[in-house]
Structure 1
Amino acid sequence: MTTTKVLLIGASRGLGLALAREWARDGRHVVATVRGSGRTPLHDLADADAGSDGGPEPGRIEIETVDVTEPAQVTALRDRLADRTFDLLFVNAGVTNQPEGTVAETSTEEFTRVMVTNALSPLRVIETLQDLVAPGGTIGVMSSGQGSVANNERGGHEVYRGSKAALNTFMRSYAARHEGERRALVLMAPGWVSTDLGGPGARLSIDESIPNVVRTLDALRDKPGLHYVDYLGRTVAW
């Protein structure tokens, strides 16, 4: 079954923006969020005329505002959307940090920033917004192949890796608490994609990753339980 109504958290740029564009092009209705009140590329996408530069039809994208690190804002978003039901909740919001240096060399403030944004906040969002997702729908979150403990054979990016490994563990706990429910739960590893976060040396383009991410999420609908997969639908080792 195709996902038709999407709640996308974190879509102002990069992978989130590309996801909003892909879903809207496919005729899905997307409620997508940005942080703060400034204009973003998502606003330009939402304003695009039908057929202009491949843009979606007007009205396919609604924009909401939320900072996922502020629980009161997440609750306020839940209240604004209380009468809506979505086929998919996908949490994309996340940050990175400098790849150099060990975790011990990272300041407490920087460690806290990355962990709160990448691991704690997505679960708070999911716990707060889960009731907006249809019983047979999907709850997904943007993870990373770097969150795999088994595949960490080279080190590097220690704090970012740790935040994604923590996110994966927290989602596994969430899945255990919701065992028996019909919803599919997805940890998505999109590949190393060329964005502001991924950097110019990344192996994949957005066009190589994101359409496959969407297809993989569609394929997992109606498949309950937790799935840790990459953009091609391949299982990632924990």
Structure 2
Amino acid sequence: MTTTNSNPRDLQAPRPGLPPTPIQRVLLIGASRGLGLALAQEWAKGGREVTATVRGSARTRLHDLADTHPDGVEIETVDITEPEQIAALRDRLAGRRFDLLFVNAGVTNQPEGTVAETSTEEFTRVMVTNALSPLRVVEALQDLVEPDGTIGVMSSGQGSVANNERGGHEVYRGSKAALNTFMRSYAARHEGEPRTLVLMAPGWVRTDMGGPDARFGIDESIPNVVRTLDALQGSPGLHYVDYLGRTVAW
């Protein structure tokens, strides 16, 4: 397994060998609002072909985006906590190929209280959604990604064990740390393959999930996330990076 020690300059440096396939066809899991919707908007604005998912049948802002980009945005439905829905999505997309699979879907919980004070039901909800389900999606949909393509998952800087010096958000932190570990195991099982694997820490962004006091606006994070994913394309191995392409400590 390869772990990249990169910075923004590294990501823009030429890489030896054949140029990677440009990221043109994107399969985005979880795009009805927040960072997922912003990613869909950024990719659509750049002329990418985006197949993006929502969880239920209700109309969302993603549907408005699809209305304004009818040739660039396609909507599918999946609840990633339901394995049979993941399998059904895989069947519907059989025969399709994508340059990037990016799993954005996730949840948070109340930041107050310790993990010991969290109910079993709430702990299970967060861990299943943030750690188990993304890996189920990756395993189920990996064959839809080009051999030299990218598989990315939305992680968080709070998933860093080394950087956890303040505590807080214990269950959410734990779910993202677990996600990182599971992706590292996935990368170890696929060592030597040409795909790029990315754990993305987008920064603390002002969304419904991030809250109004977050440090960054969407326009400060998401365009850089897209640029970083483009720059990492063709760099095999697992990369745990922030929105500017800087390596995050495990």
Q: What TM-score range do you get, normalising by the shorter chain?
A: over 0.9
Report SS of the residue matched to 1:75: helix
Report SS of the residue matched to 1:234: coil
Structure 1: 4+ residue segments shifted above 3 A: none
Report SS of the residue matched to 1:199: coil
- What is the CA–CA distance in structure 1 between the aligned matches of 2:137 and 2:158, rounded to whole Å? 22
2:217 alignment counterpart: 205
Report SS of the residue matched to 1:38: coil
Report SS of the residue matched to 2:109: coil
2:96 aligned with 1:84, yes or no?
Answer: yes
2:58 alignment counterpart: 38
> Is there any run of 5+ residues in structure 1 with no aligned partner, and where?
49-56
> Is there any run of 5+ residues in structure 2 with no aligned partner, and where?
1-19
- What is the CA–CA distance in structure 1 between the aligned matches of 2:148 and 2:122, rounded to whole Å? 38
Write out per-residue CA displacement over residues 192-228 of structure 1, whole angstroms, 9 at most, x where no aligned residue.
Answer: 0000000000000000000000000000000000000
2:78 alignment counterpart: 66
Q: Which amino acid aligns with 1:147?
A: G
- Give TM-score scaled by structure 2 length: 0.91
Report SS of the residue matched to 1:111: helix
2:197 aligned with 1:177, yes or no?
Answer: no
Q: How far 1:58 sits from its partner (Å)?
A: 2.4
1:225 alignment counterpart: 237
Q: Which amino acid aligns with 2:213?
A: G
The structure, 1 or 2, with the larger RCO (C-alpha pairs under 8 Å, 6+ apart) is 2
1:17 alignment counterpart: 37
Percent identity (aligned)? 84
1:107 alignment counterpart: 119
Q: How far 1:150 sits from its partner (Å)?
A: 0.2
- What is the CA–CA distance in structure 1 between the aligned matches of 2:71 and 2:123, rounded to whole Å? 39
Q: How far 1:237 sits from its partner (Å)?
A: 0.1
2:161 aligned with 1:142, yes or no?
Answer: no
Matches within 5 A, 1:125-140: 125-140=137-152
RMSD: 0.5
Q: Aligned pairs, how many? A: 230
Q: How far 1:121 sits from its partner (Å)?
A: 0.1
- Give TM-score scaled by structure 1 length: 0.96
- What is the CA–CA distance in structure 2 between the aligned matches of 1:70 and 1:100, rounded to whole Å? 28
